[in-house]
Structure 1
Amino acid sequence: MAYYIEDLQPGLIAEYRKTLTEADIVLFAGISGDNNPMHIDEEYASATRFGGRIVHGMLSASLISTVIGTRLPGPGAIYMGQNLKFLKPVKIGDTVTARVTVSEVLPDKQRARLLTECWVKDEKVIDGDALVWVPRRPA
C-alpha cells in the first residue's frame, strides 16, 4: 500500500522482516564491493571481539529502505536523508525486523520525518531517523 502525504500521521508504523543468510552476505559483498574480512572470512573474524563473521551494517540498514520504498510511505517516496547508529552486530542467520514510524509530517514541503530501527528479537541493533519526500494524492 502506498501512502500519500495527505494520509500520513505521526504514529503510523510499518515493518519488514528478513533472515539474513550466507547468500545475502556474499551477494551484498559482490554488489557493494565491501569485502571486509569481518563479513567474509571466518578465520579472520573469529579472532576479533565479535568471535565470528558479522553482517554488513549497511545490509541490515537496507531493510529500512525496503520499508520506506514498499510499505511506509511506500512507492513514490524518495529518501532525502538518513542517520544511523549501529548498536549491536547482526550475525549470519539472524532475523532482522526493520521498523519505520512516522514522527512528523511536513505537508507543505511534502516531507515526513521517520524513526528508523532494526531489531533482532528484542534487541535494537540499529537506531536512526530519516527524512523522505512523499508524493501528493493525484488530483
Structure 2
Amino acid sequence: MASIFYEDYEIGQTRETLGRTITETDIVIHAGQTGDFYPHHMDAKWSADQEFGQRIAHGTLVFSVGVGLTAGEINPAAFSYGYDRLRFIRPVFIGDTIHARVSIKEKRDHRKHIDSGVVVELCEVFNQKDEVVLACEHLLLVKRREAS
C-alpha cells in the first residue's frame, strides 16, 4: 500500500466509481439500523399520495452508500477528518443506481497539525440519469512528506 502525501494531491483531480442499485432491502435494513421508520421510506401506500409518488431512500443511506463507493483505495498517510456542506439534492428511489464522482477542490494548512494538511474533496453522487442526488465536501487530514 503506497502512501499518497499532501503534496501529491492536485486540485481538479477526479475519480469516478462504479454504480450500485438501491434496493428495498437496503432501505429496510437502514431503517432498522437507524430507527428511522418514517412513512416516506417504509409506507408505499402513504408515499403514493405524496410529492414523489413513491417511497424514497433515506438521505443518510444515500450518503453512506455514496461515500462507501469512493472508499476503494486505502491511503495510510490520510484519514477522514469529517464532512461539510452535505446536501440531499434529489430523491433516490428503490431501483435507482447511484455512482459517485470525487474531485479535489481545495488544499490548506491545518492550524494544529503542522505535519499534515487538509485536502477537501467534492463528493457528488449521481443517479442513473446522471442527475446529482447528493453533494458534500469530504475533508481528509493528510500527512506531508516533510513537516513545514
| TM-score bin (small chain) | 0.7 to 0.9
C-alpha displacement at 1:65, in angstroms?
A: 2.5
Deviations 1:99-122 (A, max 9, x none): 111111226542111112111122
Structure 2: gaps spanning 5 or more residues: none
**1:132 pairs with 2:140:** yes
Query: 1:43-122 to 2 correspondence within 5 Å?
Result: 43-67=45-69, 69-71=71-73, 74=75, 76-106=78-108, 109-120=116-127, 121-122=129-130
Tell me the equivalent position of 1:8.
9
Q: Distance in 2 between matches of 1:65 and 1:111?
A: 18
- Matched residue type, 1:5: Y
Cα 1:68/1:18, change in 2 over 3 Å: closer
Rg bigger for which structure? 2
Cα 1:100/1:54, change in 2 over 3 Å: same
Question: Which structure 1 residue ranges, 4+ long, deviate > 4 Å from structure 2?
Answer: 73-76
Cα 1:22/1:137, change in 2 over 3 Å: farther
Normalised to the residue count of structure 1, the TM-score between the two structures is 0.82
The root-mean-square deviation of aligned C-alpha atoms, in Å, is 2.5
Q: Distance in 2 between matches of 1:40 and 1:5?
A: 43
Normalised to the residue count of structure 2, the TM-score between the two structures is 0.78
Task: From the two aligned structures, give the one with the greater helix fraction.
Answer: 1
